[in-house]
């Protein structure tokens, strides 16, 4: 019998309470939400995975959703080392092994850093959806990246009027398929996050270089990304991410934007379930 288990919290090593949820029973799949979003954003995929015989788990990143906000004007604790430690604490508290770890967008860095910092003892395979890895920032050794000035201007827009920025970018994020109601719900979820946390996390996901860490991974990797992803262009993120990991598989969604979680939940659930079963 599947169903939603009682919600609860995981307390991290530095005392931050992270809200967690789960559905179903079976092999574990742990889902990490995108920048600004909470575990709620995985609802449609969690339900599908539970129906396919998996134990679907998700939690709210610190400063997001129903998790505690440690505070601090500079969004302390939103560096990838701390976020990777949080993920390791969730895995230990849930006491799950053979986990299929699924990370969306900026959560890709959390997943990769957790693997390189804590090892793959509990994680059997990795799925990255529209990742921000390996490096978004333009540098002399990454000339195709996004200029620092453009990234700083984006954070300035978030600081000035986050609700307006979310409203203007909801449809480009989701593309033509999601309903207005679904995009409104995603915007409402994002507005529950701490603004200092969002700004600090965005800077981390934009400037952290994961090229060496990706090359060091030794586990099955599936990358899924839309070829119309304007937020994290495929040739800057998903394709080089897959190229850096030996044996990785890249699935490109024709016409897919950054918000595949809103536009293609059934496709994602099917791909995750098949990968978790070792199909393909």
Any idea which residues carry the catalytic annotation? Answer: 105, 229, 258
- Separation between Cα atoms, residue 207 and residue 151, nearest integer Å: 9
Nearest residue to 265 via CA among 177, 162, 141: 177
Contact between 236 and 264 (Cβ < 8 Å): no
Question: Which residue is listed with tokens 């990234």?
Answer: 151
Contact between 242 and 250 (Cβ < 8 Å): yes
Nearest residue to 106 via CA among 200, 193, 197, 202: 202
Can you list the positions of beta strands (E) in the chain?
A: 8-11, 17-23, 28-32, 55-59, 99-104, 123-129, 221-226, 249-253
Rg (CA), the chain: 17
Nearest residue to 130 via CA among 210, 226, 263, 272: 226
Question: Terminus-to-terminus CA distance in the chain, angstroms?
Answer: 28
Tokens, residue 17: 């309470």
CB-based contacts of 182, cutoff 8 Å, min separation 6: 174, 262
CB-based contacts of 64, cutoff 8 Å, min separation 6: 33, 36, 37, 38, 192, 193, 194, 197
Tokens, residue 118: 């804590």
């Amino acid at each position: 019998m599947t169903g939603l288990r009682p919600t609860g919290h995981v307390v991290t090593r530095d005392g931050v309470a992270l809200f967690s949820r789960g559905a179903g029973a079976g092999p574990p799949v742990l889902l990490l939400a995108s920048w600004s979003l909470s575990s709620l954003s995985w609802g449609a995929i969690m339900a599908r995975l539970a129906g396919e015989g998996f134990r679907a788990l998700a939690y709210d990143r610190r400063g997001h959703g129903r998790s505690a906000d440690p505070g601090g004007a500079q969004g302390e604790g939103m560096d990838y080392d701390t976020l990777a430690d949080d993920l390791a604490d969730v895995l230990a508290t849930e006491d799950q092994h053979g986990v299929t770890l699924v990370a969306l967008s900026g959560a890709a860095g959390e997943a990769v850093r957790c693997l390189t910092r804590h090892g793959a003892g509990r994680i059997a395979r990795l799925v990255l959806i529209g990742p921000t890895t390996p490096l978004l920032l333009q540098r002399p050794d990454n000339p195709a990246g996004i200029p620092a000035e453009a990234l700083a201007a984006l954070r300035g827009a978030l600081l000035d009027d986050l609700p307006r920025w979310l409203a203007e970018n909801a449809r480009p994020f989701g593309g033509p398929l999601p309903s207005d109601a679904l995009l409104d719900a995603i915007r409402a979820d994002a507005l529950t996050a701490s603004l200092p946390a969002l700004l600090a996390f965005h800077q981390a996901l934009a400037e952290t270089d994961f090229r060496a860490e990706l090359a060091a991974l030794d586990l099955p990797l599936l990358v899924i990304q839309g070829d119309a992803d304007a937020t994290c262009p495929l040739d800057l993120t998903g394709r080089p991410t897959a190229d850096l990991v030996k044996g990785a598989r890249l699935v490109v969604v024709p016409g897919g934007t950054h918000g595949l979680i809103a536009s293609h939940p059934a496709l994602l659930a099917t791909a995750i379930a098949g990968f978790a079963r070792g199909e393909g």
